[in-house]
Amino acid sequence: MIEAIGTYLPPWGTDGPRLPGDDEDVVTMAVAAGLSALAAARDVPIARVVLVSRDLPLLEGGNGAALLAGLSLPATAEVREVLGGAPAALEAAGGATPGTLVIGSDVKGGAGAGAVVVGDRGVALAVMGRVNRSLPVVTRDAAGRVTDYADPRLVRELGLRSSLDVLDVAGKAAAVAGVGARDAAGLTEGIPPVLPTLGASAALFALAAVAERGDGGHLYAVEQATVVAADLASGAVAVVRDEASAQAPPKVRLSTEADITISLAAYERAFDAKLRLEATRCGTCGTLAYPQRYRCLGCGSEAAGEQVALPRDAAIYSLATIHVPVPGIATPYTVVIAELGASGVRLVGRLTGAHPGSVAIGDEGTMVLRRVAVRNGVPDYGYGFLPSRRREVAA
């Protein structure tokens, strides 16, 4: 049963496909969509997370720890990473057991992410059938090189339509994910919803569009010649969209110098505090320490403290815009010191989702998970300041 759906689109690009920011990847977008879905289904205990994508940042070691930390879920929760597109995401959502958060996230073919919370209540989503066929029109080798044979008619006639004939599902669909608007229009009843992505998240954007109508219907999820069909029952589902208006990407440059190396010992030591945004509260005087300290700065107590979640609403205390190139970071960029709610804790982070230099002291916003840098192939995550209101910046 689908209890809630969350979506996320980065602000960069056009009203069509969006582009990821230089500090965004599959994990940060998955967290954004997942938090939106979880906010609408607060009473559902999440025991497992399924992340579907073809653009996973880490193929060795996995991305589960960063994903759970960003979602503020226990590190003991089950995480399953699925390499796949729209059919895999739709099938994961339709076959999930209660207590599951299913997320589809994409960088290519339109950047964005969608997430669904599966619980004991809500609207039923049932997989009606699947056809797995090989028609490798687009391929990617081990080195990441993509070959596109660019034959849309072949895909349409020998791929999509042939697979749908095998499925033999009666009636037209309410939405089709994983194909362009032209192909979707011929398979849907009425005007199909416009979906901003073509990958794994497309299936969940399609679910959101059909759920918002409330009358249910069939959905097809397509990847080349593989098709999954599902049926969403009628009924109300909470849909939370984190989709800012599109804006032109900032003009930045990347340094050609060697990347800054990473200390894995320091990376591991700071991982939970940084990604979970948790402080230690002194059991004697209540002083908050971020990151954790062994001796309280307020009263000097060395007793173990309590881990507490810090607020994510923030206001800018101070800021600076940096123009000097730094390896691995696009310049110019703005760094802010943000005060987190009424906690008294201040956090340093980059401005995100807005042009460098477009904020001022006192501006309010939210701290959001972002990729700080990639060092030696390791994505290093932290928090950026996303302003609630954007200011115009002269070109």
Calpha distance 153→182 (Å, rounded): 12
DSSP 30: H
CB 187 within 8 A of CB 218: no
Which range has the worst mean pLDDT, 80-84, 95-99, 169-173, 382-386?
169-173
Reduced to 3 states (helix: H, G, I; strand: E, B; else coil), residue 19 is strand
| Long-range Cβ contacts of 179-186 (<8 Å, 24+ apart) | 179/222, 183/156
Please report the sign of the dihedral spanned by the C-alpha atoms of residue 291, residue 295, residue 301, residue 303: positive
Q: Which helix (H) or strand (E) holds 79?
A: strand 78-83
pLDDT of residue 393: 47
pLDDT of residue 205: 97
pLDDT of residue 395: 38
- The answer on pLDDT for 262 being more than 50 is yes
CB 307 within 8 A of CB 272: no
Residue 225 or residue 256, greater confidence: 225
Amino acid at 371: R
Q: Which residues contact 163 (CB under 8 A, 6 or more apart)?
A: 131, 133, 222, 225, 226, 227
DSSP 138: E
Please report the sign of the dihedral spanned by the C-alpha atoms of residue 207, residue 212, residue 213, residue 215: positive
Buried b (16+ CB within 10 A) or exposed e, 127-163: beebbeeebebeeeeeeeeeeeeeeeeebbeebbeeb
Band (390; pLDDT cuts 50, 70, 90): low
10: tokens are: 């980065």
The residues spanned by each domain of the chain are 2-243, 264-277+312-387
CB 182 within 8 A of CB 167: no
Band (206; pLDDT cuts 50, 70, 90): very high
- Give the Cα-Cα-Cα angle 30, 33, 35 (nearest 5 degrees): 105
Amino acid at 270: A
- The answer on pLDDT for 392 being more than 70 is no
Residue 251 CB: number of other CB atoms within 10 A?
10
Q: Of 379, 117, 388, 362, nearest to 274 (Cα)? A: 379
pLDDT of residue 27: 98
112: tokens are: 């964005």
Band (299; pLDDT cuts 50, 70, 90): very high
Band (160; pLDDT cuts 50, 70, 90): confident
Give pLDDT tens digits for 127-143. 999 998 887 777 777 77
pLDDT of residue 59: 85
Mean pLDDT along residues 245-259: 83
Strands 78-83 and 48-53: parallel
CB 244 within 8 A of CB 388: no
Give pLDDT tens digits for 25-83. 999 999 999 999 999 998 899 999 999 999 999 888 899 999 999 999 999 999 999 99
- The answer on pLDDT for 153 being more than 80 is no
Phi, psi at residue 341, to the nearest 5°?
Answer: 50, -135
Please give the mean pLDDT across all residues of the chain: 90
Phi, psi at residue 50, to the nearest 5°?
Answer: -115, 120
Q: Which helix (H) or strand (E) holds 176?
A: strand 175-177
CB 19 within 8 A of CB 10: yes
Helices (H) and strands (E) in the chain, counts: 8, 22
Place of tokens 């230690």: 280
Question: Which CA distances in Å does 290 have to 110, 222, 277, 297, 307?
Answer: 37, 46, 9, 11, 10
Question: Which CA distances in Å does 78 have to 128, 348, 376?
Answer: 26, 31, 27
Into which CATH architecture does domain 2-243 fall?
A: 3-Layer(aba) Sandwich (3.40)
Peptide bond into 291 cis (omega under 30): yes
Residue 270 CB: number of other CB atoms within 10 A?
15
Strands 175-177 and 217-223: parallel
Residue 3 CB: number of other CB atoms within 10 A?
20
Residue 291 CB: number of other CB atoms within 10 A?
12
